[in-house]
Amino acid sequence: MGYAGGRKPEPTYRSMGDHTETTQVDFNPALISYREILRHVWASHDPRRNHYSRQYQNAIFYSGEAQKAAALETMAGEQARLGREVKTVVAPLDRFWAAEHYHQKYYLRGHQPLLGEFSRLGYDDARFRESRVAARLNGLVSGFGTKAQLERELPEYGLSDPGVMYLRNVIAEGSGATCG
Amino acid sequence: MRMIAEARQEQERQGLPLDLHAPTRVETATFALG
């Protein structure tokens, strides 16, 4: 989580200036394409309208010519599909400013036993923010991913036995990953 | 958790990447959904 799209240097939640609350995800293009990610982005909001506040506006911030082409092409596709102007902002990314640490991995922060795993392993705030395991656990505890995926990847997470038990319980109770 | 230890050993034998913790910043996508 962070801030982008504005000009104010070093924005914070309480002093965001002209920035927008923004998500930045790392991905491996061998596993998922930028266009596939865009497909999810377009499907996750109503492009026919946008928020009046820059803080909450819908936006795609592209980096580089390939992302620009994909973003503009998919925007044109949305316009054709909807038959009207797309209000979603599509603009080049100038700079992404990471938000304060307490905004990172929001759902995972509700699970202290799992947070404790990262403390045990000596993670600081920046490493926690960039951790693929933290990103995965954040998704799992908020209902994304599958039990099969969990069991397949569990050995790679590096969790303690109590941590594994806790995570399995969260999933089994149904507040976490969906069946599959 | 013997199963996990065994799975880890199997992965090590196969040479698969073990550490999901390691940052692997390949490409980034940046977007805002208000």
ipTM of the complex: 0.90
CA-to-CA distance for B10 and B2, rounded, in angstroms? Answer: 12
Q: Are A26 and B27 in contact (CB under 8 A)?
A: yes
Question: With b meaning 16 or more CB within 10 Å and e meaning fewer, what string describes A28-60?
Answer: eeeeeebeebbeebbeebebeebeeebbebbbb
Instruction: Provide the pLDDT for residue B18.
Output: 41
* Rounded Cα gap, residues A31 and A138, in angstroms: 20
What pLDDT sits at residue B3?
52
In this model, does residue B1 exceed pLDDT 80? no
| A15 three-class SS | coil
User: What's the average model confidence in pLDDT over A24-45?
Assistant: 94
The chain A residue lying nearest B10, using CA atoms, is: A155
The model's confidence at residue A42, banded by pLDDT at 50, 70 and 90, is very high
Helix (H) or strand (E) holding A67: helix A64-82
Give the per-residue pLDDT at B19.
52
Closest C-alpha among A52, A112, A81, A168 to residue A177: A168
How confident is the model at residue A180, as a pLDDT? Answer: 44
Q: Do A5 and B31 touch (CB under 8 A)?
A: no
Whether the predicted pLDDT of B26 surpasses 60? yes
| CA–CA gap between residue A90 and residue A78 (Å, rounded) | 12
Which of chain B's residues have a Cβ under 8 Å away from the Cβ of A89? Answer: 32
The H-assigned helical ranges of chain B are 2-14
Is residue A170 over pLDDT 60? yes
What single string gives the DSSP state of each residue in A32-62?
A: S-HHHHHHHHHHTS-TT---SSGGG--EEEE
Q: How does pLDDT run across A2-26, given as a tens digit for each residue?
A: 999 999 999 999 999 999 999 999 9
pTM score of the predicted model: 0.83
| CB-closest option in B20, B24, B29 to A157 | B20
**Closest CA in chain B for residue A94:** B30
Query: Backbone phi, then psi, for A116, in 5-degree steps?
Result: -60, -30
Inter-chain contact B31–A23, Cβ cutoff 8 Å? yes
DSSP A14: S
A3: CB partners within 8 A, 6+ apart: A11, A16, A19, A20, A21, A22, A96, A97, A99
Distance from CA of A2 to the nearest CA of B (A): 10
Q: In 10 A of CB B10, how many CB atoms?
A: 11
Kindly provide the residue ranges of all beta strands, DSSP E only, lying in A8-125, ordered along the sequence: 20-27, 59-62, 89-92, 97-98
Residue B25 pLDDT = 61
Q: Which amino acid is located at A47 in the chain? A: P
A-chain residues near B25 (CB < 8 A)? 26, 130
Q: Which residues of A touch B4 (CB under 8 A)?
A: 154-155, 164
Q: What digits encode the pLDDT tens for the residues A101-116?
A: 999 999 999 999 999 9
Q: Which of residues 1-34 of B touch A (CB under 8 A)?
A: 1, 4-5, 7-8, 11, 18-34
Q: What pLDDT, in 10s, does the model give residues A50-85?
A: 999 999 999 999 999 999 999 999 999 999 999 999
Q: Is the per-residue pLDDT at A39 higher than 90?
A: yes
